[in-house]
Amino acid sequence: MSLIEKLNWRYATKKFDTAKKLSPEQLDTLLTAIQLAPSSFGLQSYKVLVVEDPAIRAQLRDAAYGQSQLTDASQVIIFASETVIDSALVNKYVDRIAEVRHMERVHLGAYEDTMVGTVNRLAEDQKMTWSNKQAYIALGVLLTAAADLGIDACPMEGFQAGKFDEILGLKALGLTTTVIAPVGFRAEDDTYSHLAKVRRPKSELFIHI
């Protein structure tokens, strides 16, 4: 199948097959795709939780209006933005650049200043919005990579972020829940899998200039 055929095959899975789990290799491939997702400056101002614990997942389901994907998928992937986006986060990233690229840190000073300047110009709510958007790029990469591998997923915004943060102990980690995506395999009787995909026609979606 081409990637387009795979993107047509995917859908927001409502009912997962509880008996089918991702292999360790499949999960690792999805996580690697997330790791490789681009972000503004490459800063990756989020962490990603991979939740398998059944008791925790039962609590998350309660905080997600009872939606079965939380307990029935193979894993629940949770994108959680850093709550403190400051020069320290940038400094740490620049340390990492110097390490990976075998560069002397002094040569990264101008780039570091640009990033710190950008971050410091943003108000707190703007920082969160900016950071959340980066996590959504990673979500898009994850969903595409999952489709490529024939793995189902369900991107979800319908949950109580505050309760998720509490259940997962995120506040203490300086994180807050942004968006989630249970991953696994569709149940054979998920009626949603047979529905025709509805998208804006190209003539309405695209403007050529």
Question: Which residues contact a second copy (rule: CB under 8 A)?
Answer: 3-4, 7-8, 10, 12, 29, 31-38, 40, 42, 44, 47-53, 56, 93, 96-97, 100-101, 129, 132-134, 136-145, 148-149, 155, 157, 168, 173, 179, 195-200, 202, 204-209
Tokens 């995909």 -> residue: 197
| Nearest distance from C-beta of residue 185 to a second copy, angstroms | 18
| Nearest distance from C-beta of residue 9 to a second copy, angstroms | 10
* Of 181, 179, 178, the residue nearest 152 (C-alpha): 181
| Nearest distance from C-beta of residue 49 to a second copy, angstroms | 5
Compare residues 49 and 187 and give the one whose CB is closer to a second copy.
Answer: 49
Mention every residue, 6+ apart, whose C-beta is less than 8 A from residue 5: none
Compare residues 7 and 161 and give the one whose CB is closer to a second copy.
Answer: 7
Compare residues 148 and 166 and give the one whose CB is closer to a second copy.
Answer: 148
Q: What long-range pairs does 145-148 form, CB within 8 A, spacing at least 24?
A: 145/29, 145/30, 145/33, 145/34, 146/10, 146/30, 146/183, 147/3, 147/6, 147/7, 147/9, 147/10, 148/3, 148/6
